[in-house]
Each structure stands twice: as structure tokens, then as C-alpha cells.
Amino acid sequence: MHRRNNGIQAVLAATLTAAVLMLGGPGVATAQDSMKVGVGKVMLQPKGSDKLPPPAPFRTEAMLKQAAPTSQWYSTLIFNAEPSPIFAQPLSFKTTAAGFEMSLPQKRDGPSGMPFEKYTPLSADAFVYFPHADALVFSPVAFEPEPAKLARISDWAVDISMARGPDQLLATIAHGSPYAYFQLSRGDVRIRLPAPGERLATVSDPRHLGLRVKGRSYVVFGPEGVRWEQASPTEWIGRLPAGKGYFSAAALPDDKPESLALLSRHAYAFVGDTTVAWKYDRGAGSLESTFSAKTRVMEGPDNGPLLGLYPHHWHDNASVADKLGPAYDTVRGKLRLLAASQFKTTRAWQGFVPHWPKLAEGPRLSEFNDQFKRDFRRRRDLVPGKANPDNWRVSVYWQGKGLTRLTQLAAVAEQQGDTESRDKLLEIAKERMEWWFGAEGKASYFLFDKRLGTVSAYPDEFFSVEQMNDHHFHYGYWVRAAAEIAMRDPAWATKDKWGSLVDLLVKDIANTERGSAEFPYLRNFDAYEGHSWAVGIGGAGEYGQAGNNQESSSEAVNAWAGLILWGEVTGDTALRDLGVYLYTSEVESINHYWFDIHHLVFPPTYKPVETSMVFGGGYFHLTWWTDEPRQIHGINLLPIAPFSTYMARDPGFIKRNLDAMKADTEAYNKRGKFPPNPPPADVWQDIFAKYLAMADPAAALAAWNPRGSVEDGDTPTHTLHWMLSLDSMGTPDLSVRADVPLFQVFKRADGKKTYVAYNAGKAPLAVTFSDGKTMTVAPGALGRTN
């Protein structure tokens, strides 16, 4: 839906009952309705008629002691008595009054039943939908459960309790697992089928019930001594022996006997705790992620778990290439089985720098200088050309875009040697952040909600309060802007000034303390799928039938770039390394599931070259507010800033994407059905020019209109600086690594390279690039060599 931990891990819960506490050093004072953080303040109660975020009551007593895990693939569970489907891949699940549903989603070719069907009909080639349908339903015979509750979480597995009093049916589900694992406190289990099923003759073990139902094959693995009784063509009863109230259920990937044997061998190793650990190797310029699952063997030999690897796990991963088994066809492409309790991925750290170097003399330098003067004169406008200096108080999201515009323009001024203009721009940014951080507005402020464990921003926009949406999108702009300020004014960012409030926003979206009562672990980030989710309450309503979703993947990367910069500038290496992990993982998943640059995910029936919206059960070429093609293509590009060079990995894709946008726009204009207040015909033309410049700077300069449309977080000055820089230095060369986190290499068509690195420290920094080039960067400076 679109529209680290240093020093504060144990603070926030206690601040609500103590008068003065320590928050990373400074005092934090609380009053009945507010809490002082450094020299700033957050509210503890809403102002006026504002409402708190929704409660998340469907959690067990143990889970109620932890912060609510919003914006996750399973978050629908904790907010809804009748949750939407949960897409775990390859299986989907849903809890209902009738029991616990399990399905193997299959691609639906027609538009019937699609979530957006009533509002914005899509052609059949503009979406991919794997709905939760034709499910098996598991329920206890001895009791009727109350609504399901979230009982336990780990990095990619959850326990779901369907209980009544002391009786309980406990289901464990996990990303990538072909199984659901069940534990029943007493009695037998009932299995209802969506249609009469055919018993699989290949299943010979008396403990196992194999069924083929509506084109899908399932096996239920019962304990020793179980008896399977058919009550009707669509119902089976599993008579469970006393003391053996457990079973697992799986969908088969195919009809091969070896696949059945594989799933039978691992069916009794019940997955429990799952973790993803990361390590940024600065010297090697790489990120290693380790995925580990612990199991409990219910009976028989310990054969370990069976894990399903997504394309971003197995693609270009030599460590698992010769160990993979059968595969499921899923909405994420081929999900390949691995018989192991652990696997690793290693990806290069591509790097970026906070800003680019000074423009040298050139034929367009005077044009650039004139453009800067114009943008500097209107520096207090939220939208260039519209003098409305109060608009920045409207909402955190739009203010965040304004902060980006100001700090990027300040960085350009600095590199051009105009420190006076830089300081004036930064003063405006600080003034506006401090106004919000001081909770001075009647309707514009931050609030800490202890019930859920969250910082919410008011006024509510894009349902960021009502549905807990988009926190990483919104706060990411603020964290990155704060880092830009801290580079030039370290005193502003100290914890006894404004740094603690920035830390609070960081904590909201990037807490790494599992089980914390203050904030959930990595609120938006899905550690197994490798990308973020945007909807706080998970899937809900009609759209929720496709699961949770994320639209603007580029704004997620913006947030993680902000963590890297804030961590590097403030000396918090743990936060910086977390940012490297989140950034690298999100980019890898974007390249697979939004852009499909490896051609492993989108089916042949899907015609767009990219997707704008990734759901748990689908892809939709649309936005939440319009079907206008330029915005559909652009929402996963903006904001374009120095961290955006990950998009340069495939210059051919950039050109294909823009060519497709042109064709889509022509078809849209020919259709002639426009909204009442249509956007400019060249909407976001600056974003597309910057995007094209990463593949063809000369073409971008020729296409860009300096008097054309400007995206709200950008300026013509920054756009021109970007294109001229790439025209001079060449496009990003992502094949070169370095032994520092903040670096970038550019390569011209003639082979000449430009090496850039930023030193946030207080001593000279020696940099070695993987191609042998070396340089030394002065403290607090951007270094450049050719």
C-alpha cells in the first residue's frame, strides 16, 4: 500500500512510568500526554479528535507482551477475527470458523475474482494472480475453536493458535515450507475437501493419507497408530492415538515417486525457530546472509527439515546449485526444495555515496548555474513553482519529500563550492524537522503508542495510522535527510539534541531486538522473501484476498540507504551493517519480483516488462491511485538519488522499461478516459530522465525539459547535475567493489573510470577498489580520482 538499537532498547516502555530516563545518554522526561526525547517531544496521546492506531487483539497472552508485528506477511491474523489469506509460498492458508485452510495456489488465467476487478479492470495480460482457493480445511473433532490468534513468531515461521479454553489446535507455517505442522491437544482431526477427492495409490504408508483434489495432490502425515476414516466423499477423520496429537500436511510439487518419498522422509521434522543472520564483510565488499531452521522430530529418524528456496535464494548461488530437489510453480517463480537446516547467500555490496562530485567546466555549466539560482530563490516552496511555504506542515510523507529536495540541493551547492547557499538550505531543513520533532503543530506531530509498539505520524495519510501503512516509506525520507544534516552539523545529531528522535524513527522501522515490547523486529521487512511489505494490518478486505503488498520498492530502498548513512555518520556500525543487509536484500528481490531482469518469475502470459505492485498472491500493473502509465512505471523508480544506482545493473532493462512506458502511454491517451484532474502530460519527466541517464546520459539530456514537470522530491538543479555528472563520468560500474561502505565507480564508453568514496570519519580513509585502484579520502569529505 502506498499511499541498532543503540542505547534505546529498554527505554521506551519504562518511560511511560518513570519521570526521567536515559535514552542513549540524554534525559527523557515524560508527562501524562507527551514524552521528551532529547530536545524534542513525542506525544503519548493523540491530539484533538485524532485516533490511535487500531488494536491488534488476536494474539496470545505471550504475544501481547511483545510489540505487534505489523506489516508482515501474516499481520492480517492479529487485526481481524476473519483474517485474509496468508501466502507463505508454495502454500497459502486462512483461518476461518470452520477450521484451518490450506491450499496450493495455482495461476488463475481469467480476470474473474481478481481484487481490483470492480474498480479498475485490467487486461488479462497485465496481472498475475495465484489465489487462495479450493482449500483443505483442518479442524478438531472434540471442540470448536474460537478465532485464531498469533502464538509465536520467528524470522520466517509463525505459530497460529485455534483454541477454546485448555483445548488447542496449533498450526505452524513457514515461508518456503511445503508443509503445515499441526499439534492437537486432544481428540481427532477432521479434514474437509473442496470436492470429492481421489486417494493416491502411490501412498502406501498406513500413517499417510494421500489425496488428489481438483488437480492438486496432498498428503497428510499422521503419527504411528493413526487410522484414517472416510466420513463422506468430501470428509476424512484422522483417529489420533492418545499422546500423539500431531500431524503434518503437504502439497506435492509433482506426481513423481521420488518427490513423494522426499516429502515423506522429512514430514516429521517440525520446523520451530527460524533465523536469518547477516554479515557485511567490509574488506571483501560482500554481504553474507545465513538462513537457519531448528526442528523438533516428532517420530522416526532425524532427517532434518525441507526448505523451499525462492529464485533470489538459488539464482547465481553455487553453494546450493547441486543440492536442489523438485520445484513448485509459484507466483514467485520456481520454488526449489533443499533438504537442509541451513543455507547461505552471498551478494556483492555495490555501494553508493551520499552525493556526487563537483561539475567541471562544460558547455552547460552556465545553464546549470542559472538553474541553481532559480531553485535556490524558491527554496521554501514544497512544489517547485508553487509558492506555498506552509505546505510542508501537511504530512510527514510530503514533508519528507521536501527534506529530500532541500538536502540534495544543499549537497549540490556544497560540491560547487557555494557553502553559504548550502547552509541556508540546511537551516530550512533543520527548522522544519525541529518543528515536527517538537510536536508544535495542532495536527502535525509524532506519537509513541505503547499498546502496539509504534511511532505514528499525524495527520494520518495513506492510512499510516488507521492501517499502520508505509512507515518505512515515510520515515526513510526523514532518516536520510537527518544523515545529510549530520554530515555537516554533527552537534545537531547528538543524542541530547535531535539524534534521539531520529533514532526513534529508525527503531520503528528497523529494530533488531527480537521479542521487544517497544518495537517489532524489522517491522516492514520480510527476511525470507527479501523485501518489505507496506500494509500494516496485512491483507484486509477485498484487496487482502491477494495478501499483503508493496508498491514503491524504490522508497523502501531509500529507507535502507538512510540507515546506512545515519549509521555511518553517527558511528553506529551495527546500524550501518543492518542497512547494508536490508538494502542489498531488497534490491536483489526487486530485480527478481518487480523487474524480473533474470526472466525467472513472470509467466509468458504477463506482458509488462515490470510490475508496480507485488502482492503475496499476485502482481498487478497498476497503482493505488491511478492507471496512468507514467506513474505506474515511475512509482518504483522515485526518488532517484545517489543510492539509486542499483537500477543501472541492467541498462538494457532501463531502455525496455521506458520503451514500454511510451507504448503504454500512447495506448492510454488513445483510450481517452482520463480522471477529473489529470496530471501533467509529462508527469515525472525528471525521474525518467535521471533513470535513462544511468543507461544513456546523452539521450537523457536531450529528452529532459528544464521547464517541464518536476517530481515533488526533486529539483531541476539536481536533475541536471545528475545527468551532466553521468555524461562526464560515465554510467555506474557495479562490477567494482571496495573495502569501504560508501563508494561508487563510473565508467565511460572509452573505458575511462571515475572512482568516488565518502569518508564520514575524523581521520583520513584509505580505500582499495577490487580492480586495484587506491585512493585516500580526507575526513568528512568526498574523494574522487580517475
Catalytic positions, please? Answer: 470, 551, 555
Cβ neighbourhood burial of 286 (10 Å; 0-12, 13-18, 19+): middle
Smallest Cα–Cα separation from 579: which of 600, 557, 597, 601?
Answer: 557
Smallest Cα–Cα separation from 640: which of 596, 579, 704, 581?
Answer: 704
Smallest Cα–Cα separation from 406: which of 436, 427, 389?
Answer: 427
Cβ atoms 456, 62 nearer than 8 A? no
In DSSP terms, which residues pair with 167 in a beta bridge? 164
- Alpha-carbon distance 554 to 770, whole Å? 27
- Alpha-carbon distance 285 to 681, whole Å? 43
**Cβ within 8 Å of residue 587, ≥6 positions away:** 350, 557, 646
- Alpha-carbon distance 278 to 289, whole Å? 4
Give residue 745's region: left, alpha or beta (phi > 0; psi -120 to 50).
Answer: beta
Helix residue ranges, H only, 61-127: 61-64, 76-79
Cβ neighbourhood burial of 334 (10 Å; 0-12, 13-18, 19+): buried
240 backbone dihedrals φ, ψ, rounded to 5°:
-90, 130
Q: Are strands 454-458 and 179-184 parallel, antiparallel or unpaired?
A: unpaired
Handedness of CA 457, 461, 466, 471 (dihedral sign): negative
Question: What is the spatial order of strands in the sheet that 127-129 belongs to?
Answer: 127-129, 618-620, 613-615, 549-550
Cβ atoms 88, 177 nearer than 8 A? yes
Say which DSSP state 593 is in.
Answer: I
- SS3 string, 340-354, reads CCEEEEEEECCCECC
**Cell triple for 124:** 488479462
- Alpha-carbon distance 255 to 252, whole Å? 7
